[in-house]
């Protein structure tokens, strides 16, 4: 049957995108040889993905495989005024005016085309794609206006080898887990099956046989080299996901041409016969043959198309290569921390909304409380103030979290704002990223610090880098609450008392908050939520578990660690602001979290038994640190003792020490007391490796050259 005029026009249009994609890949390699381009992982063989660019709507947020230039080119045709050839060439050449990453990396992305840039970390984009799909229903149920239309579908493509990655498997599982409960999950996963990952062949039909048998994600398969087949199958897949709001898995069979990247010598691991066979399956040849056979285009017309675009690409490349690269460190770093206020903080709740929401607890609001209760109240006010805020994690809903910090929140705000996740930290953090893409304000909880580690890529590699790699156009503001650190009186052993924050310390731009008491926790949480909301910043909020129930400081019943709730919602502790207690200039003790609590106890003994009156600083924020102000103050002391509750190696104390040596004038005499470089054992033995009050006293006396009786 002959193609209709409409079909014929569509085929030619898609073919044009395929040609542009291929010619750009070839140009990238030529420019590489001339030292003008810096990236040669191309899309050759995967040009069939132009079909998805055609079938999906412009506003269907797309998390793309790195071989999807053809998708982006085809999608760019849905929005007038795009300069995609120019943009992609700028990207290959890492020029500072490249529109998505500002020349920081070759990424496929565009704010206007609803394509967030992705990192090179295989499969790391799948969990966030699931989060974006989940956000569509949340936004609707909360009566909000997200970034995406309610009837959007999320597009998520990846390679066949990537399918095996833990991040891919958890995302597919999460999509299934949600859909199984009839939670809308409109997402189309597209596995671009070229049968190989760099040099490792995917077992024959592994993608089909491992996926088809599962019952929840609807399985489709198409020949990605054949335009008619992939167009009709993709239309079915998107219709299914859009109308039924259920997840879809498409195996998109394709071929990889010209090796994994420009530097990859395929002959090392493929026979010449295999390479030849692959080349005979070139999708451009197949499309061309089809168009000629169907008398849609003549051979001459096809050659003319190639010639036309080849010349155009050459012309644009000549201009683009003269554009400047990134010039200096401040320019490169300018997008690490998104500084622009993208949305203003909402007004505090009016009238008696707070009384209503707090219920009976409102009567106790001026009674001093422990940290767990104060954080709970703080979160209550924040959920009330920020319509976009959602709290989720393991056991946070009915149970109210392992430590009841989120108790009653589900009751107060409903299941759409406070909900349990499945037991998987990668999914939790991925979901937060995806939800933030659709303007929600995620406050995910990680149950214990030790368990953040199997999901750390979602924070380190993904959330934290989004602003950097998108020239601050995409942000994913969130506040990750993590219960952690030691001193739980023998409970839990290492996995509940993990005392290393090293994994967060070196991530550029991430805010790290470690409050030492409930009042500070509320005031710091307010700043974090504001930063996440207004600027899209990523904040890590460490809640010291041992301090959750703490009421007393020196003696049972003294209630000195209970604090009053800061009722005025305009009160907060700004980022980097540390507290200084009264004391003399002989000795300053610098600490945070549990360390500050223990130091406050030690101060009394130093005072009463050793006639010392040290000044105490509670850092509160591990990042950012106001180094200038801190060093100005520390320079006034003769001695500075750093109390570090975390493991010595990799702990903040290392940075504080270096900071003081470099920036204090004069440099005080400095000493550290740190926890040991050990994991935490069960029971009272934990105290043998964690810094104790006694260590602080001894450390202070030793630093001052005094004897400890
Ligand atoms: C987490 C991670 N591990 C390893 C790599 C290195 N790497 C880059 S591409 C690739 C193979 C991917 O193969 P596949 O998913 O089939 O995609 P294809 O390149 O074939 O399209 C590997 C191992 C990476 N980028 N990320
Ligand atoms: Mg592959």
Atom of ligand 1 lying closest to residue 457 CA: 1
Nearest residue CA, atom 17 of ligand 1? Answer: 159
Tell me the DSSP string of 477-522: -EEEEEEE-S--TT-S-HHHH----HHHHTSTT-EEE--SSHHHHH
Around Cβ 519, how many Cβ atoms within 10 Å?
A: 21
> What is the pLDDT, as a whole number, of residue 495?
86
Cα–Cα nearest to 441, from 483, 511, 379: 379
Ligand 1 pocket, mutate which of 41, 68, 197 (most atoms under 8 A from CB): 197
Cα–Cα nearest to 666, from 626, 704, 639, 627: 639
Atom of ligand 1 lying closest to residue 124 CA: 1
Q: Judge whether 511 and 575 are in contact, CB under 8 Å.
A: yes
Q: What are residue 419's DSSP bridge partners?
A: 392
Ligand 1 pocket, mutate which of 49, 118, 162, 261 (most atoms under 8 A from CB): 162
> What is the pLDDT, as a whole number, of residue 709?
62
Q: Closest ligand to 45 CA?
A: 1
> What is the pLDDT, as a whole number, of residue 707?
76
HSE-up of residue 458 (Cα within 13 Å, Cβ side): 33
For 50, 280, 285, the CA distances from 291, given in Å and listed in that order, are 16, 17, 10
Spans of all domains in the chain:
5-333, 352-547, 579-703
CATH topology of domain 352-547: Rossmann fold (3.40.50)
Cα–Cα nearest to 54, from 267, 231, 211: 231
Q: Give the CATH architecture of domain 5-333.
A: 3-Layer(aba) Sandwich (3.40)
- Residue range 187-234, pLDDT digits in tens: 999 999 999 999 999 999 999 999 998 889 999 999 999 999 999 999
> What is the pLDDT, as a whole number, of residue 262?
84
Q: Judge whether 408 and 376 are in contact, CB under 8 Å.
A: yes
Q: Judge whether 196 and 259 are in contact, CB under 8 Å.
A: no
Q: How far apart are CA 11 and CA 290, in angstroms?
A: 10
Q: Judge whether 192 and 51 are in contact, CB under 8 Å.
A: no
Around Cβ 685, how many Cβ atoms within 10 Å?
A: 12
- C-alpha of residue 506 to centroid of ligand 2, in Å: 33
Tell me the DSSP string of 324-365: -B---HHHHHTTTS--S--SPPPPPPPTTHHHHHHGGGGGGT
- C-alpha of residue 188 to centroid of ligand 1, in Å: 20
Q: How far apart are CA 673 and CA 589, in angstroms?
A: 10
Q: How far apart are CA 459 and CA 428, in angstroms?
A: 11
Residues sharing a CB contact under 8 Å with residue 562, sequence separation 6 or more, in sequence order: 368, 369, 370, 518, 551
Ligand 1 pocket, mutate which of 71, 127, 198 (most atoms under 8 A from CB): 198
Atom of ligand 1 lying closest to residue 260 CA: 19
Q: Judge whether 129 and 158 are in contact, CB under 8 Å.
A: no
Q: How far apart are CA 301 and CA 72, in angstroms?
A: 24
This prediction's pTM: 0.97
Q: Closest ligand to 161 CA?
A: 1
Pairing of strands 621-623, 511-513: antiparallel
Around Cβ 6, how many Cβ atoms within 10 Å?
A: 8
> What is the pLDDT, as a whole number, of residue 1?
65
Give the rounded distance of the alpha carbon of 446 from its chain centre: 14
* 620 φ/ψ angles, rounded to the nearest 5 degrees: 65, -55
Residues sharing a CB contact under 8 Å with residue 623, sequence separation 6 or more, in sequence order: 504, 505, 510, 511, 512
- C-alpha of residue 259 to centroid of ligand 1, in Å: 13
Q: How far apart are CA 342 and CA 350, in angstroms?
A: 24
Instruction: Report which secondary-structure segment, H or E, holds 18.
Output: helix 5-33
Atom of ligand 1 lying closest to residue 197 CA: 13
Ligand 1 pocket, mutate which of 45, 161, 269 (most atoms under 8 A from CB): 161
Cα–Cα nearest to 120, from 130, 132, 110, 105: 105
Residue 492 sits at the vertex; the CA angle it makes with 490 and 496, to the nearest 5 degrees, is: 120
Around Cβ 406, how many Cβ atoms within 10 Å?
A: 28
In sign, the C-alpha dihedral spanning 635, 640, 646, 650 is positive
User: According to DSSP H, which parts of 498-592 are helical?
Assistant: 502-505, 518-535
User: According to DSSP H, which parts of 59-143 are helical?
Assistant: 69-76, 84-92, 126-141
Domain 5-333 matches domain 352-547 at the CATH topology level: yes
Ligand 1: residues with CB < 6 A are 67, 120-122, 159-162, 192, 194, 196-198, 256, 260
Q: Looking at the domain that runs over 579-703, which CATH code has it been given?
A: 3.40.50.920
Residues of the chain with pLDDT under 50: none
């Amino acid at each position: 049957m002959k193609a209709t005029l409409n079909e014929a026009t569509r085929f030619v249009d898609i073919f044009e995108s395929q040609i542009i994609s291929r010619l750009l890949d070839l140009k990238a390699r030529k420019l590489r040889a001339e030292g003008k381009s810096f990236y040669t992982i191309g899309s050759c063989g995967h040009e069939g993905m132009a079909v998805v660019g055609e079938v999906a709507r412009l506003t269907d947020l797309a998390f793309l495989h790195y071989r999807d230039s053809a998708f982006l080119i085809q999608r760019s045709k849905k929005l007038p005024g795009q300069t995609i050839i120019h943009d992609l060439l700028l990207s290959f050449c890492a020029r500072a005016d490249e529109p998505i990453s500002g020349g920081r990396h070759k990424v496929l992305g565009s704010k206007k085309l609803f394509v967030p840039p992705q990192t090179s970390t295989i499969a790391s984009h799948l969990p966030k794609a699931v989060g974006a799909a989940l956000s569509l229903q949340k936004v609707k149920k909360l009566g909000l206006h997200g970034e995406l239309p309610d009837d959007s579908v999320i597009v998520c493509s990846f390679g066949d080898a990537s399918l095996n990655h833990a991040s891919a498997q958890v995302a597919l599982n999460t999509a299934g887990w949600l859909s199984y409960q009839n939670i809308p999950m409109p997402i189309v996963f597209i596995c671009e099956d070229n049968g190989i990952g760099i040099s490792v062949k995917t077992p024959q039909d592994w993608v089909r046989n491992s996926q088809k048998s599962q019952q929840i994600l609807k399985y489709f398969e198409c020949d990605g080299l054949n335009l008619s087949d992939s167009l009709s199958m993709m239309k079915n897949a998107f219709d299914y996901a859009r109308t039924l709001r259920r997840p879809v898995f498409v195996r998109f069979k394709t071929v990889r041409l010209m090796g994994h990247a420009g530097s990859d010598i395929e002959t090392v691991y493929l026979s010449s016969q295999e390479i030849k066979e692959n080349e005979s399956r070139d999708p451009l040849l197949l499309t061309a043959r089809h168009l000629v056979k169907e008398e849609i285009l003549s051979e001459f017309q096809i050659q003319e198309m190639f010639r036309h675009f080849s010349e155009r690409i050459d012309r644009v490349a000549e201009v683009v290569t003269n554009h400047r690269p990134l010039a200096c460190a401040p320019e490169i770093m300018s997008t690490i921390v998104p500084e622009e206020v993208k949305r203003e903080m909402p007004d505090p709740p009016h009238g008696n909304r707070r009384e209503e929401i707090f219920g009976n607890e409102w009567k106790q609001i001026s009674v001093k409380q422990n940290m767990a209760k104060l954080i709970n109240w703080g979160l209550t006010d924040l959920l009330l103030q920020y319509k976009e805020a959602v709290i989720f994690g393991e056991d946070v809903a009915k149970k109210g979290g392992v430590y009841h910090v989120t108790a009653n929140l589900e009751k107060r705000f409903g299941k759409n704002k406070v909900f349990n996740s499945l037991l998987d930290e990668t999914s939790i953090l991925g979901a937060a990223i995806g939800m933030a893409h659709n303007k929600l304000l995620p406050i995910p909880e990680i149950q214990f610090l030790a368990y953040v580690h199997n999901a750390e890529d979602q924070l380190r590699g993904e959330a934290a880098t989004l602003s950097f790699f998108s020239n601050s156009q995409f942000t994913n503001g969130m506040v990750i609450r993590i219960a952690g650190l030691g001193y739980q009186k023998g409970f839990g052993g290492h996995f509940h008392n993990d005392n290393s924050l090293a994994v967060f310390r070196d991530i550029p731009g991430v805010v790290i908050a470690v409050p030492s008491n409930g009042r500070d926790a509320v005031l710091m949480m307010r700043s974090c939520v504001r930063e996440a909301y207004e600027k899209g910043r990523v904040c890590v909020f460490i809640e010291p578990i041992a301090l959750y129930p703490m009421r007393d400081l020196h003696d049972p019943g003294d209630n000195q660690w209970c604090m009053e709730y800061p009722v005025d919602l305009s009160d907060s502790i700004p980022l980097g602001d540390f507290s200084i207690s009264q004391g003399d200039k002989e000795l300053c003790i610098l600490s945070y979290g549990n360390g500050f609590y223990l130091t406050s106890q030690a101060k009394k003994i130093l005072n009463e038994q050793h006639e010392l009156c040290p000044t105490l600083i509670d850092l509160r924020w591990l990042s950012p640190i106001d180094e200038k102000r801190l060093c100005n103050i520390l320079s006034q002391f003769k001695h500075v003792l750093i109390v570090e509750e975390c493991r010595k190696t990799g702990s903040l104390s290392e940075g504080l020490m270096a900071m003081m040596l470099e920036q204090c004038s004069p440099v005080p005499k400095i000493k550290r007391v740190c926890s040991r470089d050990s994991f935490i054992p069960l029971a009272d033995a934990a105290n043998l490796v964690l810094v104790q009050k006694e260590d602080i006293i001894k450390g202070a006396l030793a630093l001052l050259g005094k004897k400890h009786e």
